């Protein structure tokens, strides 16, 4: 899962980099290094629960399951299958699904 997360976040950063007009002002490498450090500090969760929330893409269930098993508050994703179960996860498990931008904004505004 760490590899998938690293690739996904890397793609998000590259997309942001490619959308900028003046690419000389944006250095993506420090962001990637920080992200890499964060991913190596994640806590390993014992996988206990097996849900079937993401029917259209069953491989997404592993992320939901880990959030439930780890009793997390936030699931940061842009995945459409996970986003489609937003209300159900909030209601049943109090897990808030946020996009990376939403999470960053809340973090910067000290709302987490």
Same domain, 51 and 87: yes
Same domain, 34 and 52: no
CA 23 to chain centre: 25
pLDDT tens per residue across span 68-78? 999 999 998 88
Q: Strands 96-98 and 74-76, how do they pair?
A: parallel
Tokens read off for 38: 């964060």
Same domain, 21 and 66: no
Residue-number span of the structural domain to which 4 is assigned: 1-42
Same domain, 33 and 58: no
pTM confidence score: 0.70
pLDDT tens per residue across span 41-67? 777 888 899 999 999 999 999 999 999
Out of 7-16, 50-59, 95-104, the most confident range is 50-59
Same domain, 51 and 74: yes
């Amino acid at each position: 899962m760490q590899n998938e997360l690293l690739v996904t976040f890397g793609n998000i950063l590259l997309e942001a980099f490619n959308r900028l007009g003046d690419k000389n002002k944006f250095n993506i490498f420090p962001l990637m290094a920080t992200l890499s450090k964060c991913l190596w500090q994640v806590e390993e969760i014992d996988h206990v629960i097996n849900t079937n929330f993401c029917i259209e893409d069953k491989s997404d269930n592993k992320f939901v399951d880990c959030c439930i098993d780890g009793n997390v508050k936030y699931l940061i994703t842009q995945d459409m299958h996970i986003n489609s179960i937003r209300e159900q996860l909030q209601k049943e498990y109090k897990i808030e699904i946020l996009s990376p931008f939403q999470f960053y904004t809340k973090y910067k505004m000290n709302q987490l």
